[in-house]
Amino acid sequence: MRAGTCKIALYLSGRRHAGENLAELLTKREEGLARPIQMSDALAANTSVEKNVIRAYCLAHARRKVFELREDYPAECAVVLDAVGKVYGYEAEAAGMNDKQRLAYHQGKSGPVMKELKRWIKTQFSDRKVEPNSNLGKALQYWLSHWRELTVWLREPGAPLDNNESERALKQFILMRKNSMFFKTEHGASVGDILASLIRTCRLNGVNAWDYLVTIIRNRKDARSNPDLYLPWNYKRAGTELLAA
């Protein structure tokens, strides 16, 4: 997730789904803030309280549903994959733009591509070129059923195209958990979550995680009293010497 220009990684292990964890987290937000964008796939377990977020679904996930069928339906899949490829090409061209510039660029370049793709998908069903209950039909229906969520990046400044960054971060944590033979207790898991969240957040903000954790331990009393000063981006800005006691 993002807090202004800063990135935060939060890992939560437990018996609840991701959507439940996020819903609880959102209750801690200050009132009056704009709704955050929640990026995920369309699984119900990943969605939180709808009124508190702008739901966005992963474009790469929707693409994958079609990509896996390319050998059985090469011509049809090529249409979708080509359209998505153009969108990602425009995304690369928009690198370095601010959120508003990027939005306007996608609206001008990617907007027509997505509009034509939607028209083409609808035609496949209306002209009965695709059987709705076939694998391809189900994949294309996923696009139509979740079109609004799949195209949030055409309406909201800063909205990502996909959830790839979060999935990469999650895979690293899962690999670590498997290598350590999981956790012995739920309390141990919560401690592991805290450490993993701090370390990953440091990496996302260009902070040396080892130096940061050492500083937290050496200044634990002050960190408890002034936690905002010890957030990774504030720690980075102030410098180790200023925070070390």
Q: For residue range 80-134, what is the model confidence (pLDDT) as tens digits?
A: 999 999 999 999 999 999 999 999 999 999 999 999 999 999 999 999 999 999 9
Query: What does the pLDDT read at residue 244?
Result: 44
Identify the CA nearest to 105 among candidates 90, 117, 115, 126. Answer: 90
Give per-residue pLDDT as tens, 143-195. 999 999 999 999 999 999 998 877 777 776 667 666 655 667 777 778 888 88
Residue 1 binned pLDDT confidence (cut-offs 50, 70, 90): low
Written in H, E and C, the secondary structure of 73-142 is CHHHHHHHHHHHHHHHHHHHHCCCCCHHHHHHHHHHHHHHHHHHHHHHHHHHHHCCCCCCCCHHHHHHHH
Domain-located, residue 46 = no
Is 142 within the bounds of a domain?
yes
The answer to whether position 131 is within a domain reads yes
Residue 161 falls within a domain, yes or no? no
Contact 76, 121 (CB under 8 A): no
Within 10 angstroms of residue 146's Cβ, the number of other Cβ atoms is: 18
Tell me whether residue 6 is in a domain: no
Domains in the chain: how many in total? Answer: 1
**Residue 236 domain-assigned (yes or no):** no
Q: Which two tokens stand for residue 207?
A: 């902070």
In this prediction, residue 199 carries a pLDDT of 86
Domain containing 133 equals: 59-154
Position 184 scores a pLDDT of: 72
Q: pLDDT per residue over 12-43, tens digit each? A: 777 777 777 777 777 778 887 888 888 887 77
Q: How far apart are CA 46 and CA 142, in angstroms?
A: 16
Cβ 105 vs Cβ 131: under 8 Å: no
175 assigned to some structural domain: no
In order of 46, 146, 148, 223, the CA distances from 57 in angstroms are: 10, 8, 9, 37
- Degrees, nearest 5: CA angle 62-200-155: 40
Q: Which amino acid is at 235?
A: Y
Inside any domain, residue 193? no
For residue 107, give Cα distances in angstroms to 14, 80, 97, 112, 127: 40, 18, 14, 8, 29
Q: Is the dihedral of CA 13, 159, 56, 70 positive or negative?
A: negative
The residues with which 51 forms a beta bridge, in sequence order, are none
